[in-house]
Protein backbone atom coordinates (compact mmCIF):
# COMPACT_ATOMS: atom_id res chain seq x y z
CA UNK A 1 0.00 0.00 0.00
CA UNK A 2 1.28 3.50 -0.84
CA UNK A 3 1.83 5.59 2.26
CA UNK A 4 0.49 9.05 1.41
CA UNK A 5 -3.29 9.08 1.76
CA UNK A 6 -5.42 10.79 -0.87
CA UNK A 7 -7.47 13.47 0.85
CA UNK A 8 -11.12 13.32 -0.20
CA UNK A 9 -13.64 15.92 0.94
CA UNK A 10 -17.33 15.04 0.95
CA UNK A 11 -19.95 17.69 1.72
CA UNK A 12 -23.42 16.84 2.97
CA UNK A 13 -21.74 13.84 4.55
CA UNK A 14 -24.59 13.12 6.99
CA UNK A 15 -27.15 13.05 4.18
CA UNK A 16 -28.64 10.15 2.23
CA UNK A 17 -26.02 10.04 -0.52
CA UNK A 18 -23.27 10.50 2.03
CA UNK A 19 -24.46 7.41 3.89
CA UNK A 20 -23.67 5.28 0.83
CA UNK A 21 -20.78 7.24 -0.58
CA UNK A 22 -18.51 7.37 2.46
CA UNK A 23 -18.45 3.60 2.88
CA UNK A 24 -17.66 3.06 -0.82
CA UNK A 25 -14.76 5.50 -0.70
CA UNK A 26 -13.44 4.23 2.64
CA UNK A 27 -13.53 0.60 1.46
CA UNK A 28 -11.32 1.33 -1.55
CA UNK A 29 -13.94 1.45 -4.37
CA UNK A 30 -12.67 4.81 -5.55
CA UNK A 31 -8.87 4.50 -5.64
CA UNK A 32 -8.46 0.74 -5.23
CA UNK A 33 -7.21 -1.47 -2.40
CA UNK A 34 -3.65 -0.09 -2.38
CA UNK A 35 -4.39 3.58 -1.86
CA UNK A 36 -5.20 4.88 1.61
CA UNK A 37 -7.76 7.67 1.83
CA UNK A 38 -8.32 10.36 4.40
CA UNK A 39 -11.92 11.58 4.55
CA UNK A 40 -12.69 15.23 5.22
CA UNK A 41 -16.39 15.58 5.92
CA UNK A 42 -18.30 18.86 5.82
CA UNK A 43 -21.76 19.39 7.26
CA UNK A 44 -23.87 22.24 8.53
CA UNK A 45 -23.60 22.67 12.30
CA UNK A 46 -26.95 21.04 13.25
CA UNK A 47 -26.01 17.87 11.33
CA UNK A 48 -22.60 17.39 12.99
CA UNK A 49 -23.97 15.14 15.72
CA UNK A 50 -25.53 12.80 13.15
CA UNK A 51 -22.25 12.88 11.26
CA UNK A 52 -20.41 11.78 14.41
CA UNK A 53 -22.63 8.69 14.38
CA UNK A 54 -21.70 7.97 10.76
CA UNK A 55 -18.02 8.28 11.68
CA UNK A 56 -18.53 5.75 14.49
CA UNK A 57 -19.89 3.37 11.85
CA UNK A 58 -16.93 4.05 9.58
CA UNK A 59 -14.63 3.21 12.50
CA UNK A 60 -16.57 0.02 13.12
CA UNK A 61 -15.92 -1.20 9.57
CA UNK A 62 -12.14 -1.28 10.25
CA UNK A 63 -11.45 -0.53 6.58
CA UNK A 64 -7.75 -1.12 5.82
CA UNK A 65 -7.78 1.76 3.28
CA UNK A 66 -9.23 4.35 5.65
CA UNK A 67 -6.30 6.37 6.98
CA UNK A 68 -8.27 9.00 8.89
CA UNK A 69 -11.50 11.01 9.15
CA UNK A 70 -11.95 14.67 10.03
CA UNK A 71 -15.30 16.38 10.31
CA UNK A 72 -16.36 20.00 10.61
CA UNK A 73 -18.64 22.83 9.56
CA UNK A 74 -15.97 25.22 8.30
CA UNK A 75 -15.13 24.65 4.63
CA UNK A 76 -11.73 26.36 4.94
CA UNK A 77 -10.66 23.83 7.58
CA UNK A 78 -12.28 20.76 6.03
CA UNK A 79 -11.00 21.46 2.48
CA UNK A 80 -7.43 22.14 3.59
CA UNK A 81 -5.08 20.28 1.22
CA UNK A 82 -7.82 18.10 -0.35
CA UNK A 83 -7.07 16.33 -3.64
CA UNK A 84 -10.68 15.47 -4.44
CA UNK A 85 -13.78 17.39 -3.41
CA UNK A 86 -17.15 15.71 -3.82
CA UNK A 87 -19.72 18.46 -3.29
CA UNK A 88 -22.92 16.61 -2.50
CA UNK A 89 -24.41 18.74 0.27
CA UNK A 90 -27.50 20.54 -1.01
CA UNK A 91 -31.24 20.25 -0.66
CA UNK A 92 -32.89 17.54 -2.80
CA UNK A 93 -36.06 18.32 -4.77
CA UNK A 94 -39.43 16.95 -3.74
CA UNK A 95 -42.33 15.61 -5.84
CA UNK A 96 -43.50 17.97 -8.59
CA UNK A 97 -40.32 20.08 -8.56
CA UNK A 98 -37.71 20.37 -11.33
CA UNK A 99 -34.04 20.42 -10.30
CA UNK A 100 -33.77 24.01 -11.54
CA UNK A 101 -36.28 25.01 -8.84
CA UNK A 102 -33.45 24.43 -6.35
CA UNK A 103 -31.22 27.11 -7.86
CA UNK A 104 -32.08 29.80 -5.38
CA UNK A 105 -32.00 27.48 -2.33
CA UNK A 106 -28.78 25.66 -3.26
CA UNK A 107 -26.82 28.08 -5.46
CA UNK A 108 -25.73 30.03 -2.39
CA UNK A 109 -23.92 26.98 -0.99
CA UNK A 110 -21.50 26.72 -3.90
CA UNK A 111 -20.06 30.25 -4.03
CA UNK A 112 -18.46 30.10 -0.56
CA UNK A 113 -17.41 26.48 -1.06
CA UNK A 114 -15.72 27.39 -4.38
CA UNK A 115 -13.96 30.28 -2.63
CA UNK A 116 -12.83 28.02 0.22
CA UNK A 117 -11.44 25.43 -2.22
CA UNK A 118 -9.65 28.24 -4.03
CA UNK A 119 -7.98 29.24 -0.79
CA UNK A 120 -6.98 25.95 0.79
CA UNK A 121 -7.34 22.90 -1.54
CA UNK A 122 -4.32 21.12 -3.06
CA UNK A 123 -3.20 22.49 -6.44
CA UNK A 124 -4.33 19.28 -8.16
CA UNK A 125 -7.82 19.29 -6.60
CA UNK A 126 -10.53 17.64 -8.73
CA UNK A 127 -13.96 19.03 -7.85
CA UNK A 128 -17.12 17.04 -8.58
CA UNK A 129 -20.55 18.56 -7.97
CA UNK A 130 -23.41 16.15 -7.29
CA UNK A 131 -25.75 18.54 -5.41
CA UNK A 132 -28.53 19.84 -7.66
CA UNK A 133 -28.84 21.62 -9.98
CA UNK A 134 -25.42 20.08 -10.45
CA UNK A 135 -24.25 21.75 -13.68
CA UNK A 136 -25.04 25.27 -12.58
CA UNK A 137 -23.77 24.68 -9.05
CA UNK A 138 -20.48 23.61 -10.65
CA UNK A 139 -20.50 26.80 -12.71
CA UNK A 140 -20.94 28.80 -9.50
CA UNK A 141 -18.14 26.96 -7.66
CA UNK A 142 -15.81 27.32 -10.66
CA UNK A 143 -16.51 31.04 -10.99
CA UNK A 144 -15.71 31.57 -7.33
CA UNK A 145 -12.37 29.76 -7.55
CA UNK A 146 -10.33 31.88 -9.97
CA UNK A 147 -6.98 30.21 -9.12
CA UNK A 148 -8.18 26.66 -9.77
CA UNK A 149 -8.12 25.83 -13.49
CA UNK A 150 -11.63 25.44 -14.94
CA UNK A 151 -10.74 21.91 -16.12
CA UNK A 152 -10.61 20.86 -12.46
CA UNK A 153 -14.38 21.33 -12.03
CA UNK A 154 -17.07 18.92 -13.18
CA UNK A 155 -20.67 17.99 -12.48
CA UNK A 156 -22.24 14.57 -12.28
CA UNK A 157 -24.10 13.20 -15.30
CA UNK A 158 -22.73 9.71 -14.75
CA UNK A 159 -25.96 8.62 -13.08
CA UNK A 160 -27.84 9.50 -16.28
CA UNK A 161 -25.16 7.72 -18.31
CA UNK A 162 -25.52 4.57 -16.19
CA UNK A 163 -29.33 4.80 -16.40
CA UNK A 164 -29.12 5.01 -20.19
CA UNK A 165 -26.88 1.92 -20.35
CA UNK A 166 -29.24 0.01 -18.08
CA UNK A 167 -32.36 0.92 -20.12
CA UNK A 168 -30.70 -0.09 -23.39
CA UNK A 169 -29.40 -3.31 -21.89
CA UNK A 170 -32.96 -4.26 -20.81
CA UNK A 171 -34.44 -3.34 -24.18
CA UNK A 172 -31.97 -5.47 -26.13
CA UNK A 173 -31.52 -8.13 -23.45
CA UNK A 174 -27.74 -7.78 -23.56
CA UNK A 175 -25.28 -7.42 -20.68
CA UNK A 176 -24.42 -3.84 -19.71
CA UNK A 177 -20.79 -4.65 -20.54
CA UNK A 178 -21.75 -4.98 -24.25
CA UNK A 179 -22.74 -1.30 -24.34
CA UNK A 180 -20.07 1.31 -25.02
CA UNK A 181 -19.79 4.95 -26.10
CA UNK A 182 -22.95 6.10 -24.35
CA UNK A 183 -23.27 9.87 -24.19
CA UNK A 184 -25.39 12.21 -22.12
CA UNK A 185 -25.34 15.71 -23.61
CA UNK A 186 -26.21 18.93 -21.79
CA UNK A 187 -27.83 19.41 -18.40
CA UNK A 188 -28.56 16.96 -15.57
CA UNK A 189 -32.26 17.79 -15.95
CA UNK A 190 -35.33 16.70 -17.86
CA UNK A 191 -33.89 18.34 -21.01
CA UNK A 192 -30.76 16.16 -21.06
CA UNK A 193 -30.10 14.23 -24.27
CA UNK A 194 -29.11 10.56 -23.91
CA UNK A 195 -27.67 9.77 -27.35
CA UNK A 196 -27.99 6.32 -28.94
CA UNK A 197 -26.69 7.44 -32.34
CA UNK A 198 -23.07 7.23 -31.22
CA UNK A 199 -23.46 4.45 -28.66
CA UNK A 200 -22.52 0.90 -29.59
CA UNK A 201 -23.81 -2.54 -28.68
CA UNK A 202 -21.25 -5.27 -29.20
CA UNK A 203 -19.40 -2.83 -31.48
CA UNK A 204 -22.49 -2.08 -33.65
CA UNK A 205 -24.39 1.19 -33.76
CA UNK A 206 -26.97 1.21 -30.96
CA UNK A 207 -29.71 3.23 -32.73
CA UNK A 208 -29.53 0.92 -35.75
CA UNK A 209 -29.52 -2.16 -33.51
CA UNK A 210 -32.65 -0.90 -31.73
CA UNK A 211 -34.19 0.02 -35.10
CA UNK A 212 -37.15 1.74 -33.45
CA UNK A 213 -37.13 5.55 -33.56
CA UNK A 214 -40.46 5.68 -31.72
CA UNK A 215 -39.00 3.76 -28.73
CA UNK A 216 -35.84 5.87 -28.84
CA UNK A 217 -37.76 9.17 -28.85
CA UNK A 218 -40.83 8.38 -26.80
CA UNK A 219 -39.64 5.77 -24.32
CA UNK A 220 -35.85 5.69 -23.98
CA UNK A 221 -35.10 9.42 -23.81
CA UNK A 222 -37.94 10.36 -21.42
CA UNK A 223 -37.35 7.31 -19.19
CA UNK A 224 -33.69 8.25 -18.70
CA UNK A 225 -34.35 11.98 -18.42
CA UNK A 226 -37.19 11.58 -15.91
CA UNK A 227 -35.77 8.69 -13.91
CA UNK A 228 -34.90 10.92 -10.97
CA UNK A 229 -38.53 12.04 -10.70
CA UNK A 230 -39.79 8.43 -11.00
CA UNK A 231 -37.55 7.43 -8.08
CA UNK A 232 -38.77 10.35 -5.96
CA UNK A 233 -42.35 9.33 -6.73
CA UNK A 234 -41.72 5.68 -5.81
CA UNK A 235 -39.34 6.07 -2.86
CA UNK A 236 -40.58 9.34 -1.45
CA UNK A 237 -36.95 10.49 -1.51
CA UNK A 238 -34.44 11.12 -4.26
CA UNK A 239 -32.00 8.53 -5.52
CA UNK A 240 -29.18 7.97 -3.06
CA UNK A 241 -27.30 4.68 -3.44
CA UNK A 242 -27.27 4.92 -7.25
CA UNK A 243 -26.19 8.57 -7.02
CA UNK A 244 -23.37 7.58 -4.66
CA UNK A 245 -22.34 4.77 -7.00
CA UNK A 246 -22.30 7.13 -9.99
CA UNK A 247 -20.27 9.67 -8.00
CA UNK A 248 -17.70 6.95 -7.31
CA UNK A 249 -17.66 5.91 -11.01
CA UNK A 250 -17.17 9.53 -12.07
CA UNK A 251 -14.42 10.36 -9.59
CA UNK A 252 -12.64 7.02 -10.16
CA UNK A 253 -12.53 7.43 -13.94
CA UNK A 254 -11.40 11.05 -13.57
CA UNK A 255 -8.58 9.98 -11.24
CA UNK A 256 -7.56 6.68 -12.83
CA UNK A 257 -8.66 7.05 -16.48
CA UNK A 258 -11.62 6.05 -18.66
CA UNK A 259 -11.74 2.50 -20.06
CA UNK A 260 -9.69 1.83 -23.21
CA UNK A 261 -11.76 2.10 -26.42
CA UNK A 262 -14.69 3.65 -24.61
CA UNK A 263 -15.75 7.01 -23.25
CA UNK A 264 -17.82 8.31 -20.33
CA UNK A 265 -20.21 11.23 -19.83
CA UNK A 266 -19.00 14.08 -17.65
CA UNK A 267 -20.29 17.63 -17.31
CA UNK A 268 -17.28 19.83 -17.90
CA UNK A 269 -16.50 23.40 -18.88
CA UNK A 270 -17.25 23.78 -22.58
CA UNK A 271 -14.48 24.92 -24.91
CA UNK A 272 -17.09 25.56 -27.63
CA UNK A 273 -17.09 21.96 -28.88
CA UNK A 274 -20.29 20.87 -30.64
CA UNK A 275 -21.62 24.43 -30.56
CA UNK A 276 -21.96 24.50 -26.76
CA UNK A 277 -21.08 28.06 -25.67
CA UNK A 278 -17.69 28.32 -24.02
CA UNK A 279 -17.76 28.39 -20.22
CA UNK A 280 -21.04 26.49 -19.67
CA UNK A 281 -20.74 23.28 -17.65
CA UNK A 282 -22.33 20.83 -20.03
CA UNK A 283 -22.27 17.06 -20.34
CA UNK A 284 -20.12 15.67 -23.15
CA UNK A 285 -18.55 12.38 -24.16
CA UNK A 286 -15.06 12.48 -22.65
CA UNK A 287 -12.00 10.30 -22.38
CA UNK A 288 -9.70 10.66 -19.39
CA UNK A 289 -6.03 9.95 -18.91
CA UNK A 290 -3.50 11.18 -16.34
CA UNK A 291 -6.31 12.87 -14.43
CA UNK A 292 -7.28 15.09 -17.37
CA UNK A 293 -10.45 14.84 -19.46
CA UNK A 294 -10.74 15.54 -23.16
CA UNK A 295 -13.97 16.00 -25.07
CA UNK A 296 -14.32 13.35 -27.80
CA UNK A 297 -14.10 15.22 -31.09
CA UNK A 298 -15.43 14.62 -34.59
CA UNK A 299 -18.81 13.00 -33.86
CA UNK A 300 -21.33 13.71 -36.57
CA UNK A 301 -24.42 15.42 -35.19
CA UNK A 302 -27.59 14.98 -37.26
CA UNK A 303 -30.62 17.32 -37.14
CA UNK A 304 -32.42 15.29 -34.47
CA UNK A 305 -29.41 15.31 -32.14
CA UNK A 306 -28.70 18.98 -32.95
CA UNK A 307 -32.20 19.99 -31.84
CA UNK A 308 -31.91 18.03 -28.59
CA UNK A 309 -28.44 19.37 -27.76
CA UNK A 310 -29.49 22.94 -28.52
CA UNK A 311 -32.54 22.64 -26.23
CA UNK A 312 -30.63 21.36 -23.21
CA UNK A 313 -27.81 23.87 -23.74
CA UNK A 314 -30.37 26.70 -23.94
CA UNK A 315 -31.57 25.66 -20.48
CA UNK A 316 -27.99 25.77 -19.15
CA UNK A 317 -27.63 29.30 -20.53
CA UNK A 318 -30.89 30.31 -18.81
CA UNK A 319 -29.66 28.88 -15.51
CA UNK A 320 -26.36 30.75 -15.92
CA UNK A 321 -28.30 33.98 -16.50
CA UNK A 322 -30.45 33.32 -13.43
CA UNK A 323 -27.45 32.81 -11.11
CA UNK A 324 -25.74 35.85 -12.61
CA UNK A 325 -28.80 37.86 -11.61
CA UNK A 326 -28.61 36.34 -8.13
CA UNK A 327 -25.02 37.64 -7.91
CA UNK A 328 -23.57 34.12 -7.56
CA UNK A 329 -21.30 34.51 -10.60
CA UNK A 330 -19.93 37.55 -12.34
CA UNK A 331 -21.63 38.40 -15.63
Known binding residues are: 12-18, 93, 99, 106, 113, 130-132, 163
Contacts of 30 (CB under 8 A, 6+ apart): 8, 24, 37, 248, 251, 252, 255
Task: Report d(CA 181, CA 200) in Å as an integer.
Answer: 6
Given the complex with ligand NAD, which of 55 and 172 has the nearer CB atom? 55
- 100 is an interface residue for ligand NAD by CB under 6 A: no
Of 25, 71, 159, 329, the one binding ligand NAD by CB under 6 A: 159
Phi, psi of 129 (to 5 degrees): -105, 120
Instruction: Please give the size of the binding site for ligand NAD, defined by CB under 6 A.
Output: 29
User: Site map for ligand LMR, 121-160, x if CB under 6 A?
Assistant: -----------x--------------------------x-
- 192 is an interface residue for ligand NAD by CB under 6 A: no
Residue 50 CB, shortest distance to ligand NAD, in Å, is 7
Residue 246 CB, shortest distance to ligand LMR, in Å, is 9
Q: Residue 6 touches which of ligand LMR, ligand NAD, none (CB < 5 to 8 A by kind)?
A: none
CB 254, CB 155: distance < 8 Å: no
The stretch near ligand LMR (CB under 6 A) out of 105-113, 238-246, 248-256, 270-278 is 238-246
Widest distance between CA atoms in the chain: 55
User: Site map for ligand NAD, 105-124, x if CB under 6 A?
Assistant: ----x---------------
Q: List beta partners, residue 286.
A: 264, 295
Task: Report d(CA 49, CA 97) in Å as an integer.
Answer: 30
Given the complex with ligand LMR, which of 5 and 92 has the nearer CB atom? 92
C-beta nearest to ligand NAD: residue: 15
Half-sphere exposure of 100 (CA within 13 A, CB side): 15
84: annotated active-site residue:
no
CB 204, CB 168: distance < 8 Å: no
Catalytic residue among 84, 126, 161, 188: 188
Of 1, 44, 97, 317, the one binding ligand NAD by CB under 6 A: 44
- 99 is an interface residue for ligand LMR by CB under 6 A: yes
Q: List beta partners, residue 184.
A: 194
Residue 184 CB, shortest distance to ligand LMR, in Å, is 11
Q: Residue 69 touches which of ligand LMR, ligand NAD, none (CB < 5 to 8 A by kind)?
A: none
Q: Residue 161 touches which of ligand LMR, ligand NAD, none (CB < 5 to 8 A by kind)?
A: none
Given the complex with ligand LMR, which of 122 and 231 has the nearer CB atom? 231
Phi, psi of 69 (to 5 degrees): -140, 130
Contacting residues toward ligand NAD, per CB under 6 A: 11-12, 14-18, 42-44, 47, 88-93, 109, 130-132, 134, 156, 159, 188, 238-240, 243
Catalytic residues: 188
Amino acid sequence: MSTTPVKVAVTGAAGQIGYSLLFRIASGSLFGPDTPVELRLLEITPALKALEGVVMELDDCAFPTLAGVEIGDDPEKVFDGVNHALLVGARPRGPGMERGDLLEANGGIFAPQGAALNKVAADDVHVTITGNPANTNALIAMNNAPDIPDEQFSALTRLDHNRAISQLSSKLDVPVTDITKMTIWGNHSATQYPDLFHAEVGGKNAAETVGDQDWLENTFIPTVAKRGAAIIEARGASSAASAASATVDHARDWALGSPEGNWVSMSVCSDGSYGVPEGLISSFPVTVSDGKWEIVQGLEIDDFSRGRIDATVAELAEERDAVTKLGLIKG
